Every structure is written in C-alpha cells, then in structure tokens.
Chains A and B, each alone.
Chain A
Amino acid sequence: EDQVTQSPEALRLQEGESSSLNCSYTVSGLRGLFWYRQDPGKGPEFLFTLYSAGEEKEKERLKATLTKKESFLHITAPKPEDSATYLCAVQEAGANNLFFGTGTRLTVIP
C-alpha cells in the first residue's frame, strides 16, 4: 500500500494561473512531511518541512499547508521558472527514512 500519493501526476498552468498540488499520506504517526523540488537531470532540492496539522510554510510563490491526512502546495501566480517536479515525502514516527511520492510534474507556460 502506497504511503504517499501525489496528485495530479502532471499539471500545466499559464503564467500567473494559481493552483495547488496535493499530497495525501497514510502513515499512522507523522514525524514530518517534506516538500522537494526536482529539476530535470538534478537531485531534489529541499523546500519545506511541516510537522503538525495546521502548520503553514511560505517561500516566494509557494505555500505549503498540512492537515492530518494531506498536504497542499499552493502556487500563487506561477512563473515559467517554477516548472519542475514537486516531490512530497513523509517520515513516520520512529522510522529512520523518508517515503517519497511519485511527484507532480508542473509546467508553467509563458
């Protein structure tokens, strides 16, 4: 059973068209939920960590929120340089590693 599910798999937006990416998880006890950005041919780059329901983090045009069963990555007025694959990962309480979702591939069209 997948512990982390991301949707949609791919998303095309016009520049300036705001939207949200979803990450749902099924771990029983969450230690942390992480968002990463991955550009083609590169390793993932850390964006945010969220630890408890109701928590929010922001960075430029990105805002991440967390509930008890899912997280959203809101993208406000995106630019072409925001095009990338966004990965969500969860760390279960007591575990030493992260479980990653398969990502959402975002394309922002000028």
Chain B
Amino acid sequence: DAGITQSPRHKVTETGTPVTLRCHQTENHRYMYWYRQDPGHGLRLIHYSYGVKDTDKGEVSDGYSVSRSKTEDFLLTLESATSSQTSVYFCAISGTAQDEKLFFGSGTQLSVL
C-alpha cells in the first residue's frame, strides 16, 4: 500500500466518545486525504492536507477534525462519535494536487454503537 499505514484497522466505540484515527506515510508526499466509504455512496472526501498544518474541508467534513503536525502523520478525530459515522475510513496520499493519482491505505473499519 505504497508505504501507508492506518491504525487501528478495526475499532468499535460507543456514541458520544471521541475517536482518533491515524494515517502514517513513509513516501514524503505532500498531500494527504481522509475519505469514508459507505454502501451506496462513492468514496467521499472528509478533509485533506496540502502540507504541515495546512488542511481544508472536503464534502462531508461535519463532525470531523484533522491535524497534521508532521509530514508523515495525518490524524482524523471524531470529537463525539455518532452512529452515522460508522463507516470504512481510508487515508490516501499524492505527490501533487494536479496529478490526483492517489495511493490508499488499507482502511479502518469503525463501528459506532
């Protein structure tokens, strides 16, 4: 998976608890993305980063925050998890914004009960 590690791979949590998902890359790519994948929907962008401390919202950012303090790490936080955030979360990286050839991690299956 092109030097991308997501952790944890699986998580079960309760409604209202905070959750942080981690994405770590060893490719030194500038751009990092968080997507969610749900049945009946295509992959949808949550947030993305175009450099250390530089982030922006995607199309489904409500209820999520991100942080990027180092080039290699991009964290996704659900401040207060809800059942609607049960999903598979994918991290992706790319070298440039012009060439949106993304390399994806293996995903995190999150269940919010």
Interface of A with B (CB < 8 Å)? 4, 31-32, 34, 41-46, 49, 87, 89, 91, 96-103
Known: A43-B1, A87-B42. A32 touches B107 (CB 8 A): no
Interface residue ranges, B against A (CB under 8 Å): 1, 4, 33, 40-45, 48, 50, 56, 58-59, 90, 92, 97, 99-107
Q: Which residue of B1, B45, B90, B107 is within 8 Å of A98 (Cβ)?
A: B45
Sample (24) of A-B pairs whose CB atoms are under 8 Å apart: A31-B100, A34-B102, A41-B106, A42-B106, A43-B4, A43-B92, A43-B104, A43-B105, A44-B43, A44-B90, A44-B104, A49-B99, A87-B43, A89-B42, A96-B48, A97-B33, A97-B45, A98-B102, A100-B44, A101-B42, A102-B40, A102-B41, A102-B42, A103-B42
Interface of B is mostly: loop
Alpha-carbon gap, A34 to B43, bound state (A)? 13
Task: Identify which of A41, A46, A87, A97 contacts B58 (C-beta below 8 A).
Answer: A97
For the complex, would chain A's binding face be called helix, strand, loop or mixed by DSSP majority? strand
Hey, which chain A residues are within 8 Å of B50, CB to CB? 96
CB within 8 Å for A46 and B59 given contacts A87-B43, A96-B97? no
Give the docked Cα–Cα distance between A109 and B50 (Å).
43
Residues of B within 8 Å of A100, CB to CB, are 42-44
- Supplied contacts A44-B102, A46-B101, A102-B40, 12 more A-B pairs, CB within 8 Å: A34-B100, A42-B1, A43-B4, A43-B90, A43-B106, A44-B43, A45-B104, A87-B43, A89-B100, A97-B48, A100-B42, A103-B42
